[in-house]
Amino acid sequence: MTRILWINPVGTDAYDAPIGAELRAEAAPGTRVDVCSLPGAGPQHLEWNALEAVVAGPTMGVIRWAAEGGRYDAAVIGCFYDPFLRGARELSGSMAVTAPAEACLHVASTVGERISILVGRKKWIPEMHENVVKYGFADRLASFRVLEMRVEDFQADPEFTQQRIIAEAEAAVEHDRADAVVLGCTIEFGFYREVQRKIGAPVIDAITAPLRYAEFLAALGADHEWHTSRAGGYDAVAPRELSWIPAVEPILNVDPR
């Protein structure tokens, strides 16, 4: 059994149950997915980098808690900015950690060659583009396309959202020569199957892909000891510093299976 913790790094549990349900429907048979958000009230989304900063500390705390004593085999930081992935890996021990952009881009660049990412607002693009560059996929990027929607809009009127995603995904294939489309926000969940049926090209979902990538990484660690390397930039935080990063136990939406 693979135990995965999906962290919604926000100060609301509003998405925990629906994302938990989706993830459990998409997971491999032997996977158990718990979902949590951050304790206490806090930002409802991370559209601004300053909001990421606010949730940074608690997110590290949850990662520490998740890694302690092998509680989880893998954790996902559930925001497409992949916030604090380096910090999380410094704390993760033998637990795998991944995040949506990393996972989606690895998958998309394997099933296709040119990738379009559908974001809510153009504000998001520069920070996300930095990640595309960092992961190595800049030359694979066909385009960012803007849905002109905010995070909170995606689940408000699903039919409208789906229509918008289809329109931009089709334009990405037609005009930008993309052959794979990535949904650039975790809250765009629930749409990918219908969209890829419509456009005839793979649409990589920002919660499903990291879930599956987390399972994959967990298996690589368990079976081949291919854990996060400690020989370079993911050097583990020295024990003497760990007191500054206390473990934070989140309220869990537990996998009922």
Residues in 5-44 that interact with its own copies by CB under 8 A = 11, 26, 28, 42-43
Which of 65-73, 134-142, 158-166, 182-190 is the region at the interface with its own copies (rule: CB under 8 A)? Answer: 134-142
> Closest approach of Cβ 225 to its own copies, in Å?
6
Q: Does 200 bind its own copies (CB under 8 A)?
A: yes
CB of 163 to its own copies, least distance (A): 20
Residue 114 sits in the site that holds its own copies (CB under 8 A): yes
Q: Phi, psi at residue 170, to the nearest 5°?
A: -65, -45
Q: Which of 111, 119, 125 is nearest to 188 (CA)?
A: 119
Minimal distance, residue 247 CB to its own copies, in Å: 12
Please say whether the dihedral angle defined by the alpha carbons of residues 47, 49, 54 and 58, taken in this order, is positive or negative.
positive
Binding status of residue 109 toward its own copies by CB under 8 A: yes
Burial of 142 (0-12, 13-18, 19+ CB in 10 A): buried
| Among residues 17, 70, 94, 136, the one that binds its own copies under rule CB under 8 A | 136
CA distances, 173 to each of 195, 198, 208, 218 (Å): 12, 12, 21, 33
What one-letter code names the amino acid at 222?
A
In the complex, the smallest distance separating the C-beta of residue 245 from its own copies, rounded to whole angstroms, is 6
Residues of this chain, 213-252, that bind its own copies according to CB under 8 A: 216-217, 219-220, 223-235, 237-238, 241, 244-245
Pick from 106, 145, 187, 250 the residue near its own copies by CB under 8 A. 106
Alpha-carbon gap, residue 247 to 244, rounded angstroms: 10
First-to-last CA distance in the chain? 12
Among 17, 53, 156, 254, binds its own copies (CB under 8 A): 53
